[in-house]
Chains A and B, each alone.
Chain A
Amino acid sequence: MQSVKVVVTGPFNAGKTTFIKSVSEITVLSTERQITDSSGEGAGETTVAMDFGRITVSDDVVLYLFGTPGQSRFSFMWETLSEGMLGFVLLVDATAPQTFEDARGMISFFTEMSDVPFVVAANKVAADDVSLLQQVRADLGLDDHVPLLPIDARDRDSVKAALLGLLYEILESMSA
């Protein structure tokens, strides 16, 4: 059984856990803790370690999804989580532009740390909302060749489309 790894990263509260839960065939194993308003970053639960999902794509290949913690104080895990990954999905909440700066930093970090392809998934964006997508691309400073995919992290098909977009990018990088 061959195991491959895809990392799902993104700023705090972008929806990474939901993203993985939408496609994982197992109950996503998460290490989450309640956060308080005192953190200044929102309320509810956040992933302090990682999310872990599995997709059995065939009899001999298993795809593992690793979600990184969004809060930058856990960024020391990023490198460890990223080792050996096929590629990564950077997930952003398109309705939270205040997190775009963190997303830019993550893109810079991961692209300079690794040579794997990646796609940017804009959560909470309608597929036909072209203007918002253009705004997100401009705010993130993405090059034109970087795929920017509108998704709904709660929707399985939408998440599948994002993963397929990443896999096609990887396939294209192999052909290059």
Chain B
Amino acid sequence: MALRGNLKDFSLPDVFQLVTFSRKSGVLRIKRVDGAEGSVWFREGDVFFAQSNWHAELLGERLVRAQRITAQALERALSLRAAEPADGRRLGQILVSEGYITPEVLESFVSEQIQETIFDLMRWDEGDFDFEATPQIAEEDIGLAVSIENVVMEGSRRLEEWTRIRKKIPSMDVVFKMATAPGEGTFEISLKPTEWNLLLLVDGTRSVAELAHATDHTDFEVARVLYGLFSAGLLEFAGDEEIAKLRAEREEREARAAAIESERKSVEQAAVESERKSVEQAAVEAQLREAASVTEPPAAPAAVAPVPSPPSIPAEEPRFLAGPASAPTAEDAAVLEEMMGAVLQPSTQPTTHVREPEPAPTVVVPEPEPMPAFVAESEPEPEPEPEPAPEFVAPEPEPQPELELPPAPAAVEPAAVEPEPLLEYAPAEVFEPEEIAPLAIPEPQAEPEPEPEPSTYAEDDTLAQIQASLAGLAEMPASAALQPEQTAVSDAGFERNLMALGLGELPVEVIVPVPGAPEFDEPVEPLGVLADEPVRAADRFAQLVESFDLAGSEPAARAASAPSSAEGFAQAAIEPAMSDLNQLLSSLDADGPAPGAPSASLYQAMPEATFDFDEELLREVSPPAPVGGVISTDSYLEDIAGGDMDFSGGLTDELSALTGLGRPTRPTASVNKIPEPTSATDVLRRDARVDRDTLLKIIDGIKNL
């Protein structure tokens, strides 16, 4: 049976449908008058092969273009194919059998080739077709089965699109050029790589077909991209005269480029030839020297290795190895630390300094391990000239467990010893409970008994002894008192920088509580310390003793561990205060309770922190938490102020610096409440040193980031 006709009468999809429905096997051949031919092979209604000589891309070329095989592999496979008989293996089978590609890759590419061929054939408007039914066509059958329905559907879509494209690109011989005046809308066009690659080749000389060949794409793909570019206004048609002129220029350019390339190759060839000659010359010289060495044995060692060694190339060093490492400088870190110190001033000073051995006669530096306080036998280096010990120095070495001072680190210097203490605080340590804990007074739980063990001193005698020791301390010369630590002097230039930033304003207020404050760079009297006023230390210590009594501790017990020197007094005076501050700062570090939660929850949320206040006492003294959930500084101060307890002047200053107490409009620290704005007279102003030129410089710097 033969099915013959013309595509003018029956479209190709109609013919495909007829063959498919009849489940026929055979070959459909289509021939146009211009010589273009195509054929489609069917097996029981399914297409298993198709080929065409119209804009066809052979299987081997497809594989090379897809970089599945190399051109050399294709050349070898084609040579093998030529050696095969006419009914021998086909190219795909040879590529598989030679191991260049797998059967799966071959099937994928053949399937794609079949579809592309059918798509091309469906674009034919005319041509005679002839279907020849053959029961077996083993030659072309590699086992593929392409559903003709899907191919027809996709072909129909492409055909519809092709019809639309043909309205603007009527022929594959059309030549485009770049638009001389693209429309405004073209400024925001974003191109895909394929489109950009094609646009680069549009120079007014290449036709659509030539562009398809140059880019290894099908006519349809190229025409579709050009259709989009043309519709967007990026392209326009080139006239015949313009095409001729541009093609002439292009040929001239290509000829010039070819000449340059030829010259380059000739130079390279000459260089290679020259090098080869030099090597040969060297070899000849080596042979001559070797021959000479045979006659003159002693000179033989000098004649070896005649081959010129290649010029030594210095080892390339990565740039990042040569350059300095980029990291935050110490000054950057210091600025942050200073700012932290300005905000959280009196917290971690004792933990940041390593105390140096001082000539102070009676200072006892505790060992890192827990030890009974002020036991003279445990001193690592006994003082050569011990100070006359006060009469209440514990004579017995037995430690009092509940009175045992925590293992104070080596940096137990009070904050006040530092001339400018706020400049030395490490911000990260402010929030570290483990850093705070060693300085805190033992927790209430550490004292299971309400009554401590009987001390060797009567309770009523303690204050008298303290008074006596303080009297002795008052008579001490100022030189015997603690001196400001000389090693912790911060960089003056950096401090000025801080002042310029406005970061030093708060600390100065705190450090200089009295009028006539020293200048920023001058030594400042240490915070709450007794550089030259031992009496103040005595008063402070007495107040601290009272405050401990209020906190539930036993004064006598405290007195048993009292220091025996001026520095000891100072240390004892500062440590409880620092404990309070550390507790306060711990409340800042801990996660705050949910709004409305009682303040006790905050206390319970910090198991690592130590407190020197009895928990029950804190609950009783603290007023009911406001609805807003005031959690930290304000409520804490209210607790303190509500009782009979009072801090010494230095400690109050520190708390004021931390919380803003005493300022006309200090910010509050409530959960839900935003701080009240300051009054009009306290409006902060911009850094007055920044002028317009500086600002323009900053803007340029930001732009060039």
- A residues lining the B interface (CB < 8 Å): 1-5, 23, 25-27, 29, 31, 33, 35-36, 38-40, 48-50, 52, 54-58, 61, 63-64, 66, 71-87, 102, 105-106, 108-109, 112-116, 156, 160, 163-164, 167-168, 170-171, 174-175
Contact = CB atoms under 8 A, between A and B. Distances in A.
B555 interface: no
Nearest to B601: A38
A70 B365 CA distance: 41
Interface in B455-505: 497, 500-503, 505
Contact of A167 (B672, B683, B702, B705): B702
Interface of B: 326-329, 332-333, 335-336, 339-340, 342-344, 427-428, 430-431, 497, 500-503, 505-506, 588-589, 591-595, 605, 631-633, 659-660, 666-675, 677-678, 682-687, 689-692, 694-703, 705
Contacts of B701: 55-58, 61, 63
Nearest to A29: B336
A80 B506 contact: yes
Given A75-B667, A87-B686, 6 more contacts: A74-B588, A75-B675, A76-B668, A83-B503, A84-B686, A115-B683
Contact of B328 (A29, A40, A114): A29
9 tightest Cβ-Cβ pairs between the two chains A and B? A57-B701, A84-B502, A112-B677, A105-B674, A83-B502, A114-B684, A26-B328, A52-B336, A40-B594
A171 B683 CA distance: 20
10 contacts: A2-B689, A33-B589, A40-B595, A61-B701, A76-B660, A80-B506, A84-B500, A113-B682, A171-B692, A171-B695
A176 B324 CA distance: 44
B690 A4 contact: yes
A3 B694 CA distance: 11
Most chain B CB neighbours (cut-off 10 Å) among A3, A33, A109, A114: A3
Contacts of B678: 79, 112-113
A57 B326 CA distance: 16
Contacts of A84: 500-503, 684, 686-687
Contacts of A170: 686, 695
Most chain A CB neighbours (cut-off 10 Å) among B595, B631, B659, B695: B695
A146 B354 CA distance: 51
B447 to A, nearest CB: 30
B329 to A, nearest CB: 7
Given A84-B687, A108-B674, A116-B686, A54 B332 contact: yes
A76 B667 contact: yes
Contacts of B677: 108-109, 112-113
Contacts of A23: 705
Nearest to B692: A174
A115 B593 contact: no
Nearest to A163: B702
Most chain A CB neighbours (cut-off 10 Å) among B336, B500, B671: B336
A115 B682 CA distance: 10
A164 B687 contact: no
Contacts of B595: 40
Contacts of A112: 677-678, 683
B702 A113 contact: no
Contacts, number: 206
Nearest to B705: A160
A81 B335 CA distance: 12
Given A56-B701, A113-B678, A26 B327 contact: yes
A100 B542 CA distance: 51
Most chain A CB neighbours (cut-off 10 Å) among B327, B503, B678, B692: B503
Nearest to B688: A84
B669 A75 contact: yes
Given A73-B632, A163-B702, A109 B675 contact: yes
A74 B686 CA distance: 23
Contact of B674 (A4, A5, A87, A109): A109
Nearest to B590: A33
A96 B505 CA distance: 36
Contacts of A36: 591
Given A36-B591, A113-B677, A80 B501 contact: no
Nearest to B682: A113
B427 A31 contact: yes
Nearest to A30: B336
Contacts of B431: 31, 33, 48-49
Most chain B CB neighbours (cut-off 10 Å) among A33, A71, A81, A83: A83
Contact of B698 (A61, A83, A108, A156): A61
B675 A66 contact: no
B702 A160 contact: yes
A165 to B, nearest CB: 10
Contact of B700 (A57, A64, A79): A57
Contacts of A171: 692, 695-696, 699
A23 B501 CA distance: 20
Contact of B332 (A4, A5, A29, A49): A29
A35 B605 CA distance: 12
A5 B430 contact: no
Nearest to A71: B592
A49 to B, nearest CB: 6
A163 B695 CA distance: 12
B697 A82 contact: no
Nearest to B344: A49
B592 A86 contact: no
Contacts of A80: 339, 342-343, 503, 505-506
B703 A73 contact: no
A140 to B, nearest CB: 14
Contact of A160 (B594, B675, B703): B703
Contacts of B335: 52, 64
A72 B686 contact: no
Contacts of A74: 588, 669
Contacts of B699: 164, 167-168, 171
A81 B333 CA distance: 16
Given A54-B332, A72-B674, A76-B633, A83 B684 contact: yes
Contacts of A31: 340, 427-428, 430-431
Contacts of A82: 684
Contacts of A55: 701-702, 705
Nearest to B632: A73
A85 B687 contact: yes
Nearest to B671: A73
A60 to B, nearest CB: 8
A157 B694 CA distance: 22
A72 B427 contact: no
Contacts of B668: 75-76
Nearest to A77: B343
A64 B343 contact: no
A73 to B, nearest CB: 5
Contacts of B428: 31
Contact of A49 (B343, B633, B659): B343
A2 B698 CA distance: 11
A1 B497 contact: yes
B121 to A, nearest CB: 46
Given A31-B340, A50-B340, A73 B592 contact: yes
Given A26-B329, A55-B702, A76 B697 contact: no
Contacts of B692: 171, 174-175
A101 to B, nearest CB: 9
Given A23-B705, A48-B431, A76-B660, A83 B505 contact: yes
A104 B665 CA distance: 20
